[in-house]
Amino acid sequence: MVLLLGGALMGPYLMSRYLNMGSDGTPVMRDVISTEQTRQTFYKWQDDNGQWHFGDEPPEGVQAKAVSVDTAANILQPVVVAKKEPEKDKEEELKPEKTMPLPMTVDPEGVKDMMDKAKDVQNLMNERNEQLQQIQ
């Protein structure tokens, strides 16, 4: 009895899923017939600020344009998307190649020479400051 009741409750669900599937397992949209009930008329009008408005009835004193819409024709078929290949690991793409040297503004062997030159510039600046203080 329980199995019969369960089958009766699940039957419509399973049938509707089966009837709405194509042979490849993708959903299929059945033909929708355009009728008088699926057609609707809306009105659009523009206010003094240039903003567009839409409604079932146009307001009084406004020149509105009738727009006829068929709601059955606005149903879109589902699009089947091909499966993508798995993306490469993004970390692998961002890692620099091991053969490529790191960008350096100064050769590591020339750092000592650069520090000596910086000290010379500092000494020149100190001497210049002393000369300016003697003039004042």
The answer to whether the predicted template modeling score (pTM) of the entire model surpasses 0.75 is no
Round to whole Å and give the CA distance between 34 and 78.
Answer: 19
Domains contained in the chain, number? 1
User: Per-residue pLDDT tens for 43-74?
Assistant: 999 988 989 998 888 888 888 999 888 777 65
Q: Which domain holds residue 43?
A: 39-72
Residue 52 included in any domain: yes
Residue 58 included in any domain: yes
User: Per-residue pLDDT tens for 98-127?
Assistant: 565 666 676 778 888 888 999 999 999 999
Q: What type of residue is 120?
A: D
Average pLDDT over residues 83-96: 63
Rg of the chain over Cα atoms, rounded to whole angstroms, equals 39
Residue 68 included in any domain: yes
